[in-house]
Structure 1
Amino acid sequence: MSVKAAVLFPLFALGLLAGCDKAEAAKAASTASAPAGSIATIKARDKLVVGVFSDKPPFGFVDEKGAYVGFDTDLAKRFAKDLLGDEKKVEFVVVEPASRIPFLQSDKVDLILANMTVTPERQQVVDFTNPNLRVAVQALVPEGSPVKALDELKDKTIIVTTGTTADLWLTRNHPDWKLLKFEKNSESLQALANGRGDAYAQDNLVLFSWAKEHPGYRLLPQPLGDEAPIAPAVKKGNSELRDWVNTELARLGEEKYLLKLYDQYVRDKLAPGTDPAAVIVEGGQWKANSGS
């Protein structure tokens, strides 16, 4: 190497390093200015952070190997794959019904995929995407219970999970009814099994699944309120991520992706012959079922 080259090479290398430093600094500055939960922040972090349930099969639960699985959980993995190129680039944060909204508001998660029903009250504090599921809330009672109709629960103890649609509906419509509240869905179901209450009110899809695995219970036919959509949720004002999820749901609808998840996790939990369209909302296109 000539003397001139020996002198110029270190200078050239320093120039490259300086250029890289400036590029990294610019990237860092851009990311720092991006709001939490934005697409830019998620891509810079190279990870999608999603709030999920760990005790609500078939939607979000932990299997025997300790892995997060379920309808909602697998949908989150697909979101990570399509946004970041790898379904493993997702971090699951376990939420309870009452903590879903606070976790969004405090930026602990980018997205909630934890079976959250769309209600006017929740729409005031979070932004929902288009729906992916539909649900009605019902009450589960022991087979030998004398209770035949919802109104007969007015003098009984009704178990609910704090922050669920059932909790909110009963508190608003029947404030004088006695509610026994638990933070976790698993705790509520165990309380029902232990006879600590006369009924358990929850999303009917969860009750169908649990009753099939635990004979000796039946659902009261009258729902608590109308059928409603379930949808992913983002922090209030995060229209960028909301719009991305809506576009993604529409695209997944073309390949009937939710039907695949339904077949994998939900179908065998329901009565034979159940129409999948009574449970899933493919493509995000909500249309209320007749008679709901």
Structure 2
Amino acid sequence: MALGVFAFGLGAAGSAKAEGKLQEVLKRGKLIVGTGSTNPPWEFKDASGNLVGYDIDIARLIAKGLFNDPSKVEFVVQASDARIPNITTDKVDITCQAMTVTAQRAQQVAFTIPYYREGVGLLEPKNSKYADYAALKAAGSKVTISVLQNVYAEQMVHQALPEAKVDQYDSFDLIYQAVNSGRADAAATDMSALRWYLKQNPGKYTDAGYGWNPQTYSCAVKQGDADWLQYVNTALREAMTGVDFEDYKKSFETWFGETPPEPKIGFPSEMR
């Protein structure tokens, strides 16, 4: 009798394993992704009201691997403070929302391999009297930097420009307007936003050529399901270095205005 109970237990365990997130998603026929809607170039609504952006493309690449159809995605628009709760309560299968990896968050969710390295950059007008970052730094307290209001904003700017004056504004539009009006010599902003803004305004602005305050962006899934995490990591890796690189490259060029390095043929460089 005990042997029979043990055998039944093994069968039940095997069945439970087969019904992990990967199998659940495949049976459902669509991927449910938590994301935002107001953060270009990551995730935002275009003129037609459609969700677009780099995170949206990443989600579609994951869906393409699942169903050979990148359209089989349901997007759940969520606030940034819902990114972790919606994973842990199974409201979404995965969150792709410009999410910074931290050791604290990694205690609550499982992070995928990185798909972007964020940082802070300096956006200058094309006709600036300061040619680059070195010139801005050399000018010391003569320079004014506009930045999005934050408790750490002044400290963050001073990591790169210790003597600069710092003006804080409550929206990205206002920090760029400060540069346009001459109230600020440069705007300190996310490097991804800087690249997006340069692409949207060709010939009007320039990158001062310095980045700092690095942050890793990854998607996040629920802890405890190794098969699901392994699948997503495989889809992301092969987008960045393998069979789906052309789709990935097109997305990267669209949202950041630059071409990612081509995967080198031969020994996989990521194994070095």
What's the TM-score, normalizing by structure 1? 0.60
Cα distance 1:212–1:221, how it changes in 2: closer, same or farther (>3 A)?
same
Q: In the aligned structure 2, how far is the partner of 1:211 from the partner of 1:89? A: 32
What's the TM-score, normalizing by structure 2? 0.63
* Alignment deviations for residues 125-171 of structure 1 (CA, whole Å, 9 cap, x no partner): 43211122334322335567788547958x967533879xx97x939
Match of 1:52 among 22, 30, 35: 35
Structure 2 counterpart of 1:68: 51
1:91 to partner: Cα distance: 0.9
The alignment partner of 1:39 has SS state of helix
Equivalent residues in 2 for 1:221-232, closer than 5 Å: 221-226=209-214, 229-232=216-219
Q: In the aligned structure 1, how far is the partner of 2:227 from the partner of 2:149? A: 32
Structure 2 counterpart of 1:191: 174
> Is 1:205 aligned to 2:192, yes or no?
yes
1:204 to partner: Cα distance: 1.2
Q: In the aligned structure 1, how far is the partner of 2:269 from the partner of 2:22? A: 24
Equivalent residues in 2 for 1:238-277, closer than 5 Å: 238-252=225-239, 255-264=242-251, 266=253, 269-270=256-257, 276-277=260-261
Count matched residues: 241
The alignment partner of 1:114 has SS state of coil
CA RMSD of aligned residues (A): 4.7
Q: In the aligned structure 1, how far is the partner of 2:124 from the partner of 2:84? A: 29
User: Where does the alignment leave 5 or more consecutive residues of structure 1 unmatched?
Assistant: 1-25, 279-283
Does the aligned pair in 2 maintain the 1:138–1:219 contact within 8 Å? yes
Does the aligned pair in 1 maintain the 2:60–2:70 contact within 8 Å? yes
Q: In the aligned structure 1, how far is the partner of 2:23 from the partner of 2:91? A: 16
Equivalent position amino acid for 1:159 in 2:
V
Q: Percent of pairs identical after alignment?
A: 27
> Is 1:113 aligned to 2:69, yes or no?
no
The alignment partner of 1:130 has SS state of coil
Q: In the aligned structure 1, how far is the partner of 2:149 from the partner of 2:111? A: 21
Does the aligned pair in 2 maintain the 1:149–1:222 contact within 8 Å? no
The alignment partner of 2:122 has SS state of strand
Q: In the aligned structure 2, how far is the partner of 1:241 from the partner of 1:223? A: 34
Match of 2:71 among 88, 93, 98: 88
1:179 to partner: Cα distance: 7.9
1:252 to partner: Cα distance: 3.9
Equivalent position amino acid for 1:79 in 2:
I
Q: In the aligned structure 2, how far is the partner of 1:105 from the partner of 1:43? A: 20
The alignment partner of 1:108 has SS state of coil
Structure whose CA Rg is larger:
1
